[in-house]
Structure 1
């Protein structure tokens, strides 16, 4: 099961297309997950397509898979999952006419998983530190070029000495031939070194872009290593190599324009790509509110001494950000007034970082663009644009460097915060790397949305417990307004309107407003309860009745309210007047209620709820959450 454990960690970062190709409808991810241990114990690699006599073994494996799925379905107390497992086991019967096809499918899935895991490990190791070997090889090439130049110089000196001291020039022809060969070799070495530098710098630029992308994705809870020191070392090393190669080209005797131009372009790209937004501004900014942001220059130690480097920041629109990418020019129109929008680049010797920190910055006013249709001000994206002119030691001319922040939404009132955050979440989760600013799709697959909601929930609450299949299924029912608990929503598309423009049926709030309310409630008052598995979470009333209808009187579970924002309610089994049982829901407790009395104490107060679903005595489970112990309460 070790392979599946690794795959579960990798899956959230794989593209939807990759997942669809890996786990097809004939062998869905559910089968891989439920039977992970059994699957990895079988000898799939022993099967070969040309061996027809292996078909009975393949049929045996198919029967075992179907049997395992049916057993799991029978043991599963959750109706949705039970029906899903039964549906999958029936579909597996399609392989009965071609059992060999199943074996090859599973074998190929496992192979592809190993390949993806191997690629992930390689990428992680490449990202962890600069490619020392590549840089070392470049340095060796430079040393070889320098040695070749010195040999040519020595040969030329010897030739000049012989001319001055001997009339006979019998060896001159041979020496000239040697000089010519050495000169040709030196030019060849220079060309090879510049080509190697181009490849190495291309990898560096890709890694810089990846760092910026990972920083952007961190908003929705993706892991992110913010350490820039390895990239800084890499930048400094390549700048040093570039300087030595430019010097060697100048000392070549005859000009080599092609190499000079290539090295000049590499130098400009490196200098202009080394500016990073180390600490991004808040992505939802309220006018008149103070905030800070920091830019870091990775070649800071190479900045020429003298006049301080002054960075300037301005706020730009989405349209200006697009033109910036196309033209590389500074936006002329000022769309907002930024207070404290300049900062001096300063070097910190202890951290070896060179940064400009904009402190106490604020947006005094903002100019809105003309909106289309029902577009809200909280859907309008801006960015901070940082720019300066910088001189690098050893370079003849100054360079203009610039960088934009991640998208930000500007609001004027706290009530707009939630909708603005929805815009940011959608942008971070569903934008593509190196997109045109700040394009995002209007619709996304539910699978992708589900991963985003789970990642955001876990990171904001600060928990290792994820939203399970039951929770995810109800969230799909909620956003698609589909009451059928047996429905499969994995391939349906979610629109931005469904996420945060249209209110939920019969409710005065959107899906995101409701979901974000649950996050806030859980983060502030229910984190431990959730992490301990005491809260069932998101569950619809239809599903609730199915799992509680056969439970004894007093059985209860905790679920997030679907009728109001930020509420948790207790659903319990109660006796009915007809001597049967009925499911009751206690009025939801909100953040304000839980500030007055904790959830644990509220549960202790209610005598008619006795067992947590499925059958755990409540006092055993919630004892540590009671403010007053049971003994004290009964006067023992």
Structure 2
């Protein structure tokens, strides 16, 4: 079987990994329709041999041409794959650099094998995605189901015995009435009836003991689910919200909740059958069993209520549609979405549970009028939990929620002690649950959210979200944390910062990069008189206020996200390296060796490169900001960068640190259209932007003054555009064709999405 066909058989989570592997790199349609041919080629050898790469590339074109000709012969041009378009794509992107294609496919095929190998390892070790404790829990739940099934069979047999004994007694009574000479009581008959009565009573007692044993096991499982597994999942989700690469799937937890709820409902039903039998065949059961049955039924109901009151979870935390990577920040009058799921996914609950969102329910800060702003939803968006969802879960998605601020505070109320980006709120989701005469409220709370009124506040708000989630890990949530924020150990803060780079650029920070950040953040704290702190704690005010380290880091994150995701992900940007360390790294390297680092002097993010000049001096170019990178990419800057002196021009950048030839490192990112100068039909020679410095390099410029963005209640142009985008978001092109959803691995957009990705 082809490797690709094996990938198509994986679950959706693993298929998503494969989809991300090819996204914006190579069309999955080509991988899908030519899977056998692609896997038959030696891309690994071609990746290191230019001649083999050219041979493979031309063979690829020939294969596509043959497939196209076959489509023409079979009159299947419209319905079949666009082999002609695939060929054009390869020519446009790899004709001059076929080795880049070989490197790309070699890496992708290798990662595909790793994904399949991980599946094989999981299958060998047992239940996928579970540690030993969870596997034990899984086995216990399955055993509980088996025992319940056995009890159901025994109660069914008991019903048959009761019916048979009742039939014997009634038949004997009928015979007595029909024959005057027949005695009402007969020793033989009475003895036989008594034997069966004793057997039925003993069997009923045994079944009841089995049910009690099942409920005791269920009690332990319920405690494990509600007090261990569910809090652990909530903590993983909390960390995932701020970028941690953890598994937040609810599949196993939902299966356990559902199975145990099904067992408890089944046991409750079987107890009712026993009670009905006891009532119907009152002479067949000892009177003491009736009381035991009643107590056991109450026990079963109490366990069921404990389970279901913990079964509602916020599966996807509140997030604005245009800020998917930064949840828990909401802007007034801007749409956001949130999803809740009921883990006990049983048919009995379908369409029976209505969930209502309430903003700041039971929040003491609001009740005591401590100055917190007060908000409400723009509309009543209650929903009934439904199982008609893609994953079959009992869930509700609130996709078009928005907030409005209530009237301002009246005189006499306390002024808010916190700024907008430190004021925490929660959204609670409430269900009124009724079953077997029992009634209770089921509640689930979102993680604390921040409500901003301007997009200028988003960066500061995200600093608060990170800080709070690293500090608070247990409910009930402390919404007043920023009234007196405790310091955060550098070990925790460094994790959160590293996750930001993983989330934005698919690559975490290494030890050297974190060390530089530690010196910049913690070192500055020490210079302010806190050098005696052995745990390297960082104060909130130092991290977030005024000329903060966070504003600089966030500017760099934005720079990576918008202009250099690929080269950051592939490890070609050293990034966080001080000037002193730069000098130490480069001073013994040959002329032309360079490294890329982030500027420390420009507040909102800039990037520069330092290199070894011909006279062994370490030079650095004036940093490039986001504005400059909008016009030309960093790889193009590096390719074209030149020094001019005395009428002579030379290119000083030759080797990326430590010793990678510049074109080997950045060749895949060069834009072919900018690599050559040709004459167009009008006779003009194409021009291009070239980065040139006049040698020698002037001394470094002082830090650039950049105005602070001011928060205001007035809607800015950016806010207005975001609002328009939100309002018309639902009018985007649908993701299905002719009513058929496409396989996530074979889904293919326009080839225009892929050019210039290398």
User: TM above 0.5, one fold?
Assistant: yes
The answer to whether the aligner puts 1:569 opposite 2:608 as a matched pair is yes
Q: What is the match of residue 270 of structure 2?
A: 248
How far 1:405 sits from its partner (Å)?
1.2
Secondary structure of the structure 2 residue equivalent to 1:348: coil
CA contact (8 A) 1:314 1:341 kept: no
Q: CA RMSD in A?
A: 3.9
Q: What is the match of residue 569 of structure 2?
A: 531
Deviations 1:461-509 (A, max 9, x none): 1x2x43222101101101112699xx999942233333323x5xxxx3x
Q: What is the match of residue 467 of structure 2?
A: 426
Secondary structure of the structure 2 residue equivalent to 1:481: helix
In terms of mean alpha carbon deviation, does 519-528 or 424-433 score higher? Answer: 424-433
Q: What are the residue-to-residue correspondences of 1:535-550 with 2, within 5 Å?
A: 535-550=573-588
Q: Which of the residues 211, 225, 234 maps onto 1:190? A: 211
The answer to whether the aligner puts 1:222 opposite 2:266 as a matched pair is no
CA contact (8 A) 1:304 1:391 kept: no
Q: Which of the residues 391, 406, 424 maps onto 1:381? A: 424
How far 1:416 sits from its partner (Å)?
0.7
How far 1:353 sits from its partner (Å)?
2.9
Q: What is the match of residue 234 of structure 2?
A: 212
For residues 144 and 573 of structure 2, the distance between their equivalents in structure 1, rounded to whole angstroms, comes to 52
The answer to whether the aligner puts 1:167 opposite 2:205 as a matched pair is no
Q: What are the residue-to-residue correspondences of 1:515-526 with 2, within 5 Å?
A: 515-526=553-564
The answer to whether the aligner puts 1:278 opposite 2:315 as a matched pair is yes
Q: Which of the residues 360, 364, 367 maps onto 2:400? A: 360
How far 1:397 sits from its partner (Å)?
4.8
Q: Which of the residues 431, 440, 443 maps onto 1:402? A: 443
CA contact (8 A) 1:514 1:566 kept: yes
TM-score relative to the length of structure 1: 0.67
CA contact (8 A) 1:340 1:358 kept: no
For residues 152 and 221 of structure 2, the distance between their equivalents in structure 1, rounded to whole angstroms, comes to 14
Q: Which of the residues 507, 512, 515 maps onto 1:470? A: 512
Return closer, same or farther for 1:120/1:439 CA change in 2, 3 Å cut-off.
Answer: farther
How far 1:173 sits from its partner (Å)?
6.0
For residues 451 and 168 of structure 2, the distance between their equivalents in structure 1, rounded to whole angstroms, comes to 73
Q: Which runs of 5+ in 2 are unaligned?
A: 1-127, 177-183, 279-289, 320-327, 642-650, 680-758
Q: What is the match of residue 25 of structure 1?
A: none
For residues 358 and 391 of structure 2, the distance between their equivalents in structure 1, rounded to whole angstroms, comes to 28
For residues 605 and 318 of structure 1, the distance between their equivalents in structure 2, rounded to whole angstroms, comes to 62
Q: What is the match of residue 102 of structure 1?
A: none
How far 1:303 sits from its partner (Å)?
4.6
Deviations 1:7-38 (A, max 9, x none): xxxxxxxxxxxxxxxxxxxxxxxxxxxxxxxx
Return closer, same or farther for 1:274/1:322 CA change in 2, 3 Å cut-off.
Answer: farther
For residues 611 and 305 of structure 1, the distance between their equivalents in structure 2, rounded to whole angstroms, comes to 64
Secondary structure of the structure 2 residue equivalent to 1:215: helix
For residues 296 and 337 of structure 2, the distance between their equivalents in structure 1, rounded to whole angstroms, comes to 43
Q: What is the match of residue 591 of structure 1?
A: 626
Higher RCO (C-alpha under 8 Å, 6+ residues apart) = 2
Q: What is the match of residue 34 of structure 1?
A: none
CA contact (8 A) 2:587 2:612 kept: yes
Return closer, same or farther for 1:371/1:223 CA change in 2, 3 Å cut-off.
Answer: farther
Q: Which of the residues 375, 379, 390 maps onto 1:336? A: 375
TM-score relative to the length of structure 2: 0.57
Deviations 1:538-582 (A, max 9, x none): 01122222222333444321101112222111122346xxxx643
The answer to whether the aligner puts 1:268 opposite 2:314 as a matched pair is no
CA contact (8 A) 2:313 2:342 kept: yes
Deviations 1:316-354 (A, max 9, x none): 17844999xxxxxxxxx9931211232331441664333
For residues 388 and 630 of structure 1, the distance between their equivalents in structure 2, rounded to whole angstroms, comes to 60
In terms of mean alpha carbon deviation, does 139-148 or 580-589 score higher? Answer: 139-148
Q: Which runs of 5+ in 1 are unaligned?
A: 1-117, 324-332
